[in-house]
Amino acid sequence: MRISHTPMLAAAVSLTLTACAGLQQSTAPAGDDNTAPATPSAEQARQFIADSETKLDSMAQHVNRTYWVYQNFITGDTEALAAKANEELTAELVRMAGEAARYTGLPLDSDTRRKLDLLRSGITIPAPSDAEKNAELAGIGAKLDGMYGKGEYCRSEADCLDLGQMTEILAESRDQELLLDVWNGWRTISPPMQPLYERQVELANQGANELGFRDVGQMWRSQYDMDPDDFATELDRLWGQVKPLYDALHCHVRAKLGEQYGTGIVPQDGPIPAHLLGNMWAQQWGNIYDLIGPAESSSGFDLTQLLNDNGYDHIKMVKTGENFFSSLGFEPLPETFWQRSLFVQPKDRNVVCHASAWDIDNRDDIRIKMCIKINAEDFQTIHHELGHNYYQRAYKDQSALYQGSANDGFHEAVGDAVALSITPEYLQQIGLLDGVPEASGDIGLLMRSALDKVAFLPFGLLVDQWRWKVFAGDVGPEGYNDLWWQLREKYQGVAAPVARPDDAFDPGAKYHVPGNTPYTRYFLAHILQFQFHRTLCEIAGNDGPIHRCSIYGSEAAGERLNAMLEMGLSRPWPDALEAMTGSREMDATAILDYFAPLKDWLDRQNAGRQCGW
């Protein structure tokens, strides 16, 4: 399962999936001396917005094309061109956001007010207006990105491992000492990042201050159509709804790992050592299903084998995903999608293989970029990525600043909700399965899903919890690493397998930290996808358990989905949520409904065990 999408822009801004609202550019109104009037008016604010949206199209297309070329033809030249485009965009965004701030005290109509707020708060890492500091910040972002991308662990001069190789070892090996060595090895890349990250925080907070925010964390939280502090409270409420399910899963996983490695390595009254969970960051646990899954339950089929046995290639994989959306009533993908997307890893050049969905021109030039493998994971990922593309196309008629998702969690949630419909029933409908397995296999299927989706929830929450405290100055550089592991233990019940020094800077070993990609979107997406799925299943007439529901073939469900998608960012997210679900409140109980049979099974397994940490 994919839980992130490579941004089209580098560290200075996060132009994820599309030239998103809040990241666009504008031309400030100017007087005869090319300076803004001292006392702005509401009419000038409206003109400023109009100029901003006009300039958006040309700048966004240029940056999108530059980054598309860079990620598909990685050379020193394309890297330099992308960095230059990023620096120019950042400077323009800073100027434009500062200008938007001048109008915030005026009596304005709601539409103008909303667009001004998007412009003011939409920069991920706001640079100070000082040109030298802006250039310094851009340089830091490029260096951090490069340090991560080039990271490797050399056990000897002739034995160096990159992240992909280490990821495979953590997923497949059951040798505790090897796992520990590789886990430690990857974290040797991050200590040199810390001085750069400290300076980046300092500069970015200066930029946020100039835009009227206390710090960058408050600026990020202000993008959610509610008071920033209330938003933090809302996250705690959602986590409280799902925590009992996570706790039950954690208890069972810890017990099984204790059987595998011994309770001396996995104490049964404490957090789980992070290197044993099958993932470099212990954020998803699906790779250890063989140790955890119920012996009495099997999924009854191997989707990877089915795809290969039925002659699927990369094009047939994507065509199948397109057919899913066509069955809901959506128009086929444009011909340019098939001409311009990247489906197969080229043999003659370096590319960024991380799956991503692109909207080049904010109209019809939508694409995906993947190095597709014929396996179950990529089959799901294709359905997910196409969810982003259909969302992008649905809101193309919105004005430029509204061409984005209702909040950043919605874009991820739509793709994930679609992927939830890849059920045995769906696989039977498209001819990959001759029959639907018996319900006895459901616990195995649910466990596989929970080890990724439920296990991810606390990690999805804590990454930004750490950053918000760092941005706010609640902790200094000497406490960065200690705070990271405090939060890992508090939310995940996961601990470092060995003592970590203060200067280890383990957060830097997770791409989204040096890459400056906000992470709360992924927590929200994991909540919203189940809420969306439950509603769409109800509309599709599903009368069985929602974990067996597929909306494939339901034009009624497609119509409801599109009603939300085409709103884009034009309305506050509660309005968009209401258009989809009938509720204005995010609700994690859909996760509990989906995994209810698994929760009952876990409770039986955990009887007599000491749970918690």
Strands 159-162 and 152-156: antiparallel
- Helix ranges restricted to H, 402-441: 408-419, 424-429
Query: If DSSP codes are grouped into helix, strand and coil, which group holds residue 129?
Result: coil
Torsion of CA 560, 562, 566, 570, to 10 degrees: 30
448/3 Cα distance (integer angstroms): 16
Considering 53, 87, 99, 385, which one is annotated as catalytic? 385
Which of 297, 304, 276, 296 has its CA nearest to residue 288?
276
377 is catalytic: no
DSSP state letter for 366: E
59/360 Cα distance (integer angstroms): 11
CB atoms within 10 A of CB 612: 11
DSSP-derived secondary structure for 151-185 = -EEEEETTEEEEHHHHHHHHHH---HHHHHHHHHH
- Write the CB contacts of 478 (distance below 8 Å, at least 6 apart in sequence): 502
98/130 Cα distance (integer angstroms): 12
227/204 Cα distance (integer angstroms): 21
Angle formed at CA 407 by CA 334 and CA 221, multiple of 5 degrees: 150
Considering 250, 512, 533, 547, which one is annotated as catalytic? 512
Give Cα 486 to chain centroid, integer Å.
23
- Residue at token pair 């003109």: 47
Asked if 548 contacts 425 with a C-beta cutoff of 8 angstroms, the reply is: yes
547 is catalytic: no
Torsion of CA 582, 587, 588, 593, to 10 degrees: -40
Buried b (16+ CB within 10 A) or exposed e, 479-506: ebbebbbebbbebbbbbbbeebeeebbb
Torsion-angle region of residue 494: left (phi > 0), alpha (psi -120 to 50) or beta?
Answer: beta
Query: If DSSP codes are grouped into helix, strand and coil, which group holds residue 504?
Result: coil
370/217 Cα distance (integer angstroms): 32
Asked if 31 contacts 37 with a C-beta cutoff of 8 angstroms, the reply is: yes
Query: If DSSP codes are grouped into helix, strand and coil, which group holds residue 356?
Result: strand
9/122 Cα distance (integer angstroms): 13
Supply the residues annotated as catalytic.
385, 512
